[in-house]
């Protein structure tokens, strides 16, 4: 089946990756990496130059015939037609999402994608990323990319993604289908390697799979081979499913990755020791399904599927369906609303999963039922969106955000409390009717001091969402739309939502914790008894004491914040770096003593460990080489003395 030559432009700052990709695509004769760029400015200049040259030579292009050797493999005489799309002389742009990560002055990857789509609407862009976070894929879709693929993808997967993106195809496979496709593709590729070698060595003597004889031993070996491959495939599928768990620790993830590599190596050894035999009955049964996936070189051209109509996705190389906007010409550089929609959509999707607190720190929201907890987080997200809209409408300057920080958080807390409990809700306690919301809002000062004033990154988050100011990540500023800034924005937003939710529930626990109507409407069924409620309140009280006296000074001394985030399965804490020297200078009393104790421990502990190790080694030497040998000599003397006595007691021989 004829195909066409695809001319590629690679934009990536890593020269090693550019060289590796060029070498990886070299065997595929229908793919030509015509030029490279290490930054956005160079890439735009290259596109402009090629676009001008293409306009001059638009009618001088001739057909090209190239032999294809790709996956799926093509017959040797399959022609490759010239691409009728002459946009800038390039058929597809391969762009690194993290472009400009280390240099904020350069054009960022997502912004460059939008500029390319705005200048050349018909030119597809395939985004490559080393970060498979959902928020990055969502950002790629918002940027107007034609596709998305992980940089760690296997070469056949990347080739398939390139062909589909260039052919206006889509990546529609789900994660489950991707897991199944990986095992099937690898197994069929291993089956084809011996056949390709046989075809290259002696194509005239290649046996016909449907007529070649097969012995009982051959069939038995093929059954063993198929059984082993099926077991390995099942194990790989289970490991791939386990790796999708976002709550996996780094150690567990590394162990599973190692097991996956071992299984792949075992499958490679199995397919080498027991190669597929063309004459085996087992292979005859598999030939039709093989022709649908990766056909052998002995197959006919009619059996080769169109690469643009097929896609393969592996678990380690996530590919995502991204449809280009209908109005490509309307694409403009990312604004604050684009970044906001990306981040809010990512957080919204996490709220649909489990919200169990898996940290060692008790939270006020832990007492709520799952549905009430989710309702509260949805409400806070909506109120934040309304707050951002009001700030845009009011045309607040970035300098005023810091001054209005406390009032903004107070308004957010008050509005959320009113809507969550009901603005006109009343509560009957001991025959007295209370206006619930008004009573709860009386704890404003307590909530401000204990929770709201200590939420980090509020001004930075609002400024980034409203004015696209660079966001500091590890002391490096990142522009809006960069994967690093998107991930940090998501973390700050999630922590703000969780802290505001705690602020909403805290007055309820302080004033109406044991009211039966409150228990029935809001509390988790495991925390309905008065004893459990009081235990929960005491845990919260001790948490704030320990946080004020130990945890917070320790975090200040270590220049970090511990933020609560949604992982997709639970709520966890993640540390982020932040300079906190002004707070460290202002510490006094017990918190200051805690920092001195930590500093003293850091200064003394290594030396004390060395002293203990030296003394321990000395004791070991004395016990083993001095006392031990002495005891050994004493024991030896005792044994020899006993032997001499026994010899003296024996009667002399006659």
554 with 598: CB under 8 angstroms?
yes
Report if residue 37 sits inside a domain: yes
Q: Is residue 617 situated within a structural domain?
A: no
Look at residue 493 in the predicted model and tell me its pLDDT.
94
Same domain flag for 228 and 160: no
Mean pLDDT across 324-349: 62
Based on the domain organization, do 166 and 180 belong to the same domain?
no
Q: Tell me if the pTM is above 0.85.
A: no
Tell me if 477 is assigned to some domain: yes
List, in sequence order, the alpha helices (H) in 468-482: none
Q: Are residues 83 and 146 in the same domain?
A: yes
Distance from C-alpha of 68 to C-alpha of 160, rounded to nearest angstrom: 14
- In this structure, are 436 and 479 located in the same domain? yes
Q: How many domains does the chain divide into?
A: 3
Q: Are residues 351 and 500 in the same domain?
A: yes
Rounded Cα distance between 167 and 146, Å, is 10
Q: 645: pLDDT confidence band, cut at 50, 70 and 90?
A: low
In a domain, 152, yes or no: yes
> Which of 403, 331, 294 has the alpha carbon at shortest distance from 111?
331
Whether residues 226 and 112 fall in one domain = no
Ramachandran sector of residue 478 (left: φ over 0; alpha: ψ -120 to 50; beta: rest): beta
How far apart CA 207 and CA 194 sit, in angstroms, is 13
User: Are 439 and 473 in a shared domain?
Assistant: yes
For residue 57, is it within any domain?
Answer: yes
Residue 56 has pLDDT above 80, yes or no: no
Which of 330, 361, 385 is where one domain is finished? 330
Within-domain flag for 114: yes
pLDDT tens digits along 4-16: 788 888 998 888 8
Domain that holds residue 165: 3-173+318-330
Q: Are residues 64 and 93 located together in one domain of the fold?
A: yes
In which band, very low, low, confident or very high, does the pLDDT at 444 lie, cut at 50, 70 and 90? very high
CA distance 470 to 478: 5
Mean pLDDT of the chain: 76
CA gap 452, 444 in Å, rounded: 10
Q: Are residues 182 and 292 in the same domain?
A: yes
Q: Is residue 540 part of a domain?
A: no
CA separation (Å) from 542 to 5, 295, 523, 560? 68, 67, 21, 22
- Same domain membership, residue 216 and residue 148: no
382 in the same domain as 282: no
State the burial class of residue 475 (Cβ atoms within 10 Å of its Cβ: 0-12, 13-18, 19+). exposed
> Is the residue at 286 inside a domain?
yes
State mean pLDDT over 554-565: 93
Pick from 208-217, 322-331, 532-541 the range whose average pLDDT is largest: 532-541
Give pLDDT tens digits for 352-370.
Answer: 888 999 899 999 999 999 9
- Considering the domain architecture, whether residues 298 and 325 belong to the same structural domain is answered as no
The last residue of a domain, from among 530, 558, 583: 530
């Amino acid at each position: 089946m004829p195909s066409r030559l695809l001319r590629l432009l690679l934009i990536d700052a890593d020269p090693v990756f550019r060289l590796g990709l060029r070498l990886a695509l070299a065997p595929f004769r229908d793919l030509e990496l015509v030029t490279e760029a290490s930054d956005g400015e160079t890439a735009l200049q290259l596109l402009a130059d090629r676009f001008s040259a293409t306009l001059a030579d638009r009618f001088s292009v001739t057909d090209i015939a190239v032999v294809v050797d790709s996956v799926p493999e093509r017959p040797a005489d399959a022609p490759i037609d010239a691409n009728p799309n002459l946009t800038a002389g390039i058929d597809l742009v391969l762009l690194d999402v993290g472009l400009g990560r280390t240099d904020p002055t350069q054009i960022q990857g997502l912004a460059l994608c939008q500029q390319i789509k705005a200048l050349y609407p018909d030119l597809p862009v395939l985004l490559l990323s080393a970060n498979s976070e959902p928020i990055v894929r969502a950002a790629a879709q918002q940027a107007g990319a034609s596709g998305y693929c992980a940089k760690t993808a296997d070469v056949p997967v990347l080739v398939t993604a390139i062909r589909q993106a260039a052919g206006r195809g889509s990546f529609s496979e789900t994660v489950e289908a991707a897991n199944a496709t990986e095992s099937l593709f690898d197994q069929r590729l291993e089956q084809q390697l011996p056949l390709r070698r046989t075809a290259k060595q002696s194509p005239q003597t290649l046996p016909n799979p449907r007529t070649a004889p097969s012995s009982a031993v051959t069939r038995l070996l093929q059954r063993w081979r198929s059984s082993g491959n099926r077991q390995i495939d099942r194990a790989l599928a289970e490991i791939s499913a386990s790796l999708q768990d976002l709550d996996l620790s780094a150690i567990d993830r590394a162990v599973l990755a190692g097991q996956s590599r071992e299984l792949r190596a075992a499958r490679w050894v199995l397919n080498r020791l027991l190669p597929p035999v063309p004459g085996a009955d087992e292979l005859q049964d598999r030939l039709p399904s093989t022709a649908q996936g990766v056909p052998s070189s002995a197959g006919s051209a009619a059996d080769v599927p169109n690469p643009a109509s097929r896609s393969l996705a592996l678990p380690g190389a996530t590919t995502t369906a991204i449809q280009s906007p209908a109005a490509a010409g309307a694409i403009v550089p990312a604004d604050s609303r684009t970044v906001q929609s990306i981040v809010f959509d990512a957080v919204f999707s996490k709220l649909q999963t489990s919200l169990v607190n898996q940290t060692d720190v008790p939270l006020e929201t832990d007492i709520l039922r799952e549905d009430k907890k989710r309702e509260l987080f949805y409400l806070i997200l909506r109120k934040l969106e309304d707050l951002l809209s009001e700030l845009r409408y009011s045309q607040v300057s970035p300098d005023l955000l810091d001054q209005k920080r406390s009032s903004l958080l107070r308004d957010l807390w008050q509005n959320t409390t009113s809507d969550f409990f009901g603005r006109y809700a009343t509560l009957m306690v001991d025959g007295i009717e209370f206006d619930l919301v008004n009573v709860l809002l009386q704890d404003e000062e307590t909530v401000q001091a204990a929770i709201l004033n200590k939420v980090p990154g509020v001004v930075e988050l609002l400024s980034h969402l409203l004015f696209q100011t660079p966001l500091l990540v590890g002391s490096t500023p990142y522009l809006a739309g960069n994967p690093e800034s998107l991930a940090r924005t998501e973390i700050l937003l999630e922590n703000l939502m969780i802290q505001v939710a705690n602020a909403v529930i805290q007055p309820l626990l302080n004033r109406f914790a044991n009211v039966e109507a409150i228990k029935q409407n809001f509390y988790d069924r495991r925390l309905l008894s008065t004893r459990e409620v009081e235990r929960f309140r005491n845990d919260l009280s001790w948490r704030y004491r320990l946080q004020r006296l130990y945890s917070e000074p320790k975090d200040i001394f270590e220049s970090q914040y511990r933020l609560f985030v949604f992982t997709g399965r639970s709520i966890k804490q993640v540390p982020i770096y932040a300079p906190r020297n002004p707070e460290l200078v202002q510490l006094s009393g017990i918190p200051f003593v805690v920092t001195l104790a930590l500093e003293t421990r850091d200064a003394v502990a290594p030396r004390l460990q060395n002293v203990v190790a030296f003394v321990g080694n000395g004791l070991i030497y004395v016990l083993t080489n001095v006392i031990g040998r002495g005891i050994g000599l004493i024991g030896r003397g005792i044994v020899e003395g006993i032997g001499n006595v026994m010899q003296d007691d024996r009667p002399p021989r006659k």
